[in-house]
Amino acid sequence: MDKYERGERMNLKNLPDDEYFTPGHTACPGCAAPIIVRNMMKILGKDTVIYTPANCLLVFGGTYPYIAWKVPYFHEAFENTGSSISGAARALKKQGKKVTVVGIAGDGGTYDIGIQALSGAAERNEDVIYVCYDNEAYMNTGIQRSGSTPYGAETTTTPAGKKILGKLRHKKDMAEIMRAHDIPYVATASISHIADFLKKVEKMKNIEGFRYFHVLSPCPTGWRYDPSKTVEIARKAVDSGMWTLYEAEYGEITNIYKPKKKIPVEEYIRGQGRFRHMTPEMIEELQRWVDRKWERLYGEKP
Amino acid sequence: MYEIRFHGRGGQGGRMAAEALALAAFLEGKYAVSFPFFGAERRGAPVRAFTRIDDKKIRIKTQIYEPDYVVVLDETLIETEDVLEGLKPDGMVIINTQKKPEEVKLSRSVRCATIDATTIALETIGRAITNTAILGAISRATGKIGIDAIEKAIIEKFGARLGKEAGEKNAIAARKAYEKTIVGIAKAGKKFEGKKQWLPTVDELPLGGSIGTLQTEAGLVGIGSFSENKTGGWRVFMPVVDEQRCTGCKICWFYCPEGAIKMVDNKAKINYDYCKGCGICENECPFKAIEMKREVRI
């Protein structure tokens, strides 16, 4: 019987007080990314090495000469998070050190620019953790569309104007691409579901091989909502089916969270400035996409 | 020619204010240029924006180092940097604060106009975005640009971006501020120490290695050193914990993006040095034990 079955797993009550990502960082008020990394680091602990390519977290987590991380922290180029963490993990293994190597990239660094290095590292089954914090656009450079931006969302490169009304294509399903790599662990999470989030972080810490962890990270600046609503919006994303929480081991979904009551996608997009221009037809199209995804993942009609 | 420098925080709209002021001058038949300056910073971090206004064509493209007017959108900024730096001797500073000009203490005695733009913005627009209210104050304090042109510029600039109704509300905020601006003289006596920088030579840095945490003349550097950067000045609203209602469930502790909430004796304690006032804790507390209150800074 392992400790999960005994019910000794990490929960909000016994989550350590230790902070490996210090206050004083310069993230926008209400940013979800520090919530994700702070709490993740409480479980991963001090024997961790962090790699980040260009993203907001890189800037607000370390602006010369200040660093918010209390663990070794490296900045590498945008496209090679996968290969950097592969090399670091192998070097540390050769030295006989037991260290968790973590690469944290945004959606741009994962979906678009970093996908080849990521795919290679996953295919080689390197012993690393890859975290994608997904805020659905290139927020660091001023909100440009990425492969992760959902249909209809307004960004500076998909403006709601006379010719187009926001992004024309749907969000790419990155976690599914990673699931197809037949790796030991793929998990999607949301800060709105604390127990689920902590369980997944703790589980992935103790697995050997390539682990892919994908967290939705609402962005008050880019999504244009009130900063206090960050967690509420993350929760609505899960409840509407825009974001699905599951775990997959070697390509098989082993655990999937189903919202008790599915809310219409309209309820999720309300209050987010990036969707404000959406017409009823566009909302219907987004709903159809959510329903298709729902049917594929749950194997039943919503 | 006269030059105006705006000091604000990212997201407060310093850039939009500088641009709207340039547009207002243009509507009055003047020449005007405007541009912002910011580094790799997020919302809430100090930023600057500039506007130059002249009767003839403007050829100068530099940042403004010796302004005629300084506009401060956030009063916490006058504590951390000398906003009067380079201001001409007969220049004037316009500050968003609840204080009267005589109560404001700066590095030297200078003409000063004050306006409680945050309250006006909250009452009129419903958000603590003060850039349009401050434009009304600029019109009153400087007397160089008419409030009618300011209103027209706001409706044109903000209306195009936020919708007609929001544009008009912002114009009302400017008009209100125009009527409430107080002009006087600020006190001298605030001391600023020049901020030291840590500039190590190549020999002092381990090549390809880690520096760990170092205490330098510029303060702490290296891993964990961001804790010296107190972000508490960013907020407009502060969370206040009702200890009677707090059950110690740790939900706010989990959700605080700053890690500014600590659990002490099973009650949430907020570290105001770092709290940016995002309000997630109030929104997520299941027992309604946290309330966001307008912060009054003295």
B140 Cβ partners below 8 Å, 6+ apart? B113, B147, B177, B178, B179, B181, B183
Q: What is the pLDDT, as a whole number, of residue B61?
A: 87
CB contact under 8 A, B224 and A39: no
pLDDT tens digit sequence for A164-222? 999 999 999 999 999 999 999 999 999 999 999 999 999 999 999 999 999 999 999 99
> What CA–CA distances, in Å, run from B215 to B101, B196, B206?
39, 13, 16
Q: What's chain B's average pLDDT? A: 89
Nearest Cβ partner for B42 among A21, A60, A66: A60
| Lowest mean pLDDT segment, chosen from A51-65, A89-103, A219-233, B111-125 | A51-65
Q: What is the pLDDT, as a whole number, of residue B209?
A: 65
- As a whole number, mean pLDDT of residues A11-17 equals 89
Q: What is the pLDDT, as a whole number, of residue B210?
A: 67
**What's the distance, CA B262 to chain centroid?**
27
Whether residue B191 lies inside any domain: the answer is no
Residue A6 has pLDDT above 70, yes or no: no
Best of A228, A229, A235 to disrupt the B interface by mutation (most B CBs within 10 Å)? Answer: A228
- As a whole number, mean pLDDT of residues B192-197 equals 74
Residue B129 at interface with chain A, using a CB cutoff of 8 Å = no
- As a whole number, mean pLDDT of residues B128-135 equals 90
**What is the domain extent for residue B101?**
2-186
The secondary structure of B116-176 as a DSSP string is: -HHHHHHHHTSS---HHHHHHHHHHHH-SS-HHHHHHHHHHHHHHHH-HHHHHHHHHHHHH
CATH of the domain at B29: 3.40.920.10
| Cis omega (within 30 of 0) for bond into A65 | yes
**pLDDT-derived band at B76, boundaries 50, 70, 90:** confident
CB contact under 8 A, B254 and A12: yes
CB contact under 8 A, A23 and B279: no
CATH class of A33-298: alpha beta
> ipTM of the predicted structure?
0.94
Residues B149 and B286 in one domain: no
Q: Letter for the amino acid at B1?
A: M
Residues B137 and B20 in one domain: yes
Whether residue B33 lies inside any domain: the answer is yes
Nearest Cβ partner for B254 among A60, A194, A232: A194
Residues B156 and B215 in one domain: no
The residue ranges of DSSP E strands in A142-281, in sequence order, are 185-190, 211-216, 246-249, 252-256
Structure tokens at A71: 């663990």
Q: Letter for the amino acid at B297?
A: R
Whether residue B269 lies inside any domain: the answer is yes
Q: List, in sequence order, every residue forming a beta bridge with A247; answer none if it has no partner.
A: A187, A255
Q: How far off is chain A from B151, nearest CA to CA, in Å? A: 25
Question: What is the domain count for chain B?
Answer: 3
Residues B67 and B122 in one domain: yes
Structure tokens at B27: 């509507």
Q: How far off is chain A from B74, nearest CA to CA, in Å? A: 16
Last residue of some domain: B186, B215, B246? B186
Residues B214 and B247 in one domain: no
A279 Cβ partners below 8 Å, 6+ apart? A165
Q: What is the pLDDT, as a whole number, of residue B40?
A: 63
- As a whole number, mean pLDDT of residues B192-219 equals 76
Q: What is the pLDDT, as a whole number, of residue A1?
A: 43
CB contact under 8 A, B225 and A23: no
The residue ranges of DSSP E strands in A199-267, in sequence order, are 211-216, 246-249, 252-256
- As a whole number, mean pLDDT of residues B231-258 equals 93
Query: How many residue pairs bridge chain A and chain B with CB atoms within 8 Å of each other?
Result: 140
B106 Cβ partners below 8 Å, 6+ apart? B78, B82, B83, B84, B93, B112, B186, B187, B188, B190
Whether residue B266 lies inside any domain: the answer is yes
Residues B150 and B248 in one domain: no
Residues B206 and B134 in one domain: no
- As a whole number, mean pLDDT of residues B39-57 equals 84
pLDDT tens digit sequence for B220-229? 888 888 888 8
**pLDDT-derived band at A8, boundaries 50, 70, 90:** low
